[in-house]
Structure 1
Amino acid sequence: MLSWGFLCLFLGSITLSDARGLLKPKGDPVIELRAAAASVTCLSANALQTGSNSNGQATTLVSGQTPSATNGANFINFCAGEVLTNGLQIATGSCNGVVMGKIPSTSNMVSSILISPTPGQKMKANETFEIRVQTSGLSAGGFTNEDSTYYAAPQDLSSDGLIIGHAHFAIQDLGKTLTPTAPPDPTDFVFFAAVPGTADGKGLFATNVTGGLPAGNYRVCSMASAANHQPVVMPVAQRGSQDDCQKFTVGK
């Protein structure tokens, strides 16, 4: 008798009626339910990526290169038994089984440059100012519910081949100097904003820091994200950064 685990390897490539005919006996409600679910929970044959069968060590080795994990079914069950992300922001950690999604061409990669604040700019304390970043390669307006669909769908592309997404801004206090040697705590920030759409329809994202900031040394960073808030995924490793950061002072 064929096991369900074995059948799932190929049921994704056949029709529902074929699945029902293959599984015996006909009319069994459990088998009917499993056959109906096959088209949803089984990996389709044309979605199988054979690249995951190799650990990458058979070709030319590079210093520091480590073997890749391998799997014959796209790591479809990688998160089995783990705490699932399930659309939530889980501070204690989780496992997300949703695929990375569509990846743009090198001619459509995301790039960003912060226009404001400028490098080393000196601002007045507690005075509203604007953050602006100019982007390319990002189709603005993709912004899903961050409380229930976080990382819950793959990265997708527009009809122009651009990543559909949005931008984030984060400001962190650097302490007594603009040139610290210790990285700031990523959980500690003085300002954060998600910006769904552009200000000009041409890749410029902007937001106000209402009421400004107290005197200090700060770093502002932009973060490009796909619609479900995941960092954008690029097609090649050797490239420029998709995000930008700037340091500035307030009341100094």
Structure 2
Amino acid sequence: MSSPSADSTTSLTLNSTIVASGFASDGSPATGQVPSLTSTNNFINFCLTYPNLPNTNGSQVTTGSCNSAPMGAIPSIQNIPSVKIISPKYGDTVQPNTELQVSFAVQNMEVGAPVDPQVNYLSAPQQLNNQGVIKGSAFMVVEELSSLTDTQPGNPQTFSLFQGIQGAPVNGVLQGRITNGLPSGVYRLTMQLRASNRQPLLVSTPEHGSLGDMVYVRVYCWGRQQRRFCRKF
């Protein structure tokens, strides 16, 4: 591949040196697979095939849109990121309405690099830093469940908390805080890693471990003293 020209980021013409010839193949799908879409111009006009959808243009189009931004830079298999929630632990019971500290370890990811989601949502390719790891951010999501044995898929529009984790890791560990705690109940706490423009991470192989982590916790009062404390809320 040749070096980019001075106007490579503003030209409206596809540079022939970056045409992906493999995109012209439908993959000769085996049983259980479907043929891929094909293109000889890197799908640069793909969104014209969805004329009823507006362009994804940096804002959050909740009615649906079509995104023309390239997928971007993909890390090596050695640099696939991962995350592990350290605390609370799976199955922990915590006091309701009480500040909850959350910590999690992250590797192969430069976190703390989110863009403005009101202006630049999904509007640029995934980027790598000088060490070849994805630049992005980490998010904590809390959803209430009916019980620890709940088997119903949740409603993605309904959640108790969605919070970006600020700051850089210390010794590979990030800290989050649920300042006012949670009401009594059962919750799923998820840690998500995303690229800078809030898109899901892209990695170099389809077979890999989870890029996120979750724990299930119970929130309720136990013991006479604790129950007296909880009645104040």
| TM value normalised by structure 2 | 0.87
The aligned residue for residue 193 of structure 1 is 163
Q: 1:227 aligns with which of 192, 196, 206?
A: 196
Compute the displacement of 1:128 (Å): 0.5
Map 1:1-252 to 2 at 5 A.
40-57=11-28, 61-80=29-48, 81=51, 82-175=53-146, 177-200=147-170, 202-251=171-220
Compute the displacement of 1:37 (Å): 11
Identity of aligned residues (%): 33
Unaligned runs of 5+ in 2: 222-233
Q: How far apart, CA to CA, are the structure 2 residues paired with 1:136 and 1:88?
A: 30
SS in structure 1 of the partner of residue 23 of structure 2: helix
Structure 1: 4+ residue segments shifted above 3 A = 36-39
CA 1:249–1:47 in structure 2 vs 1: closer, same or farther (change >3 Å)? same
SS in structure 1 of the partner of residue 141 of structure 2: strand
More helix by share: 1
Whether contact under 8 Å (1:142, 1:196) holds in the other structure is: no
State the one-letter code of the partner of 1:149: N
Q: How far apart, CA to CA, are the structure 2 residues paired with 1:163 and 1:182?
A: 33
Compute the displacement of 1:181 (Å): 1.1
Pick which of 86-95 and 36-45 moved more: 36-45
Compute the displacement of 1:39 (Å): 6.0
Pick which of 202-211 and 217-226 moved more: 202-211
Whether contact under 8 Å (2:112, 2:138) holds in the other structure is: no
CA 1:215–1:240 in structure 2 vs 1: closer, same or farther (change >3 Å)? same
Q: How far apart, CA to CA, are the structure 2 residues paired with 1:126 and 1:155?
A: 38
Compute the displacement of 1:38 (Å): 11
CA 1:210–1:39 in structure 2 vs 1: closer, same or farther (change >3 Å)? closer
CA 1:229–1:240 in structure 2 vs 1: closer, same or farther (change >3 Å)? same
Compute the displacement of 1:153 (Å): 0.8
Compute the displacement of 1:206 (Å): 1.8
CA 1:38–1:229 in structure 2 vs 1: closer, same or farther (change >3 Å)? closer
Compute the displacement of 1:63 (Å): 3.2
Unaligned runs of 5+ in 1: 1-14, 17-35
State the one-letter code of the partner of 1:111: S
Q: CA RMSD in A?
A: 2.1
The aligned residue for residue 30 of structure 1 is none
Q: How far apart, CA to CA, are the structure 2 residues paired with 1:131 and 1:105?
A: 29
Whether contact under 8 Å (1:167, 1:205) holds in the other structure is: no
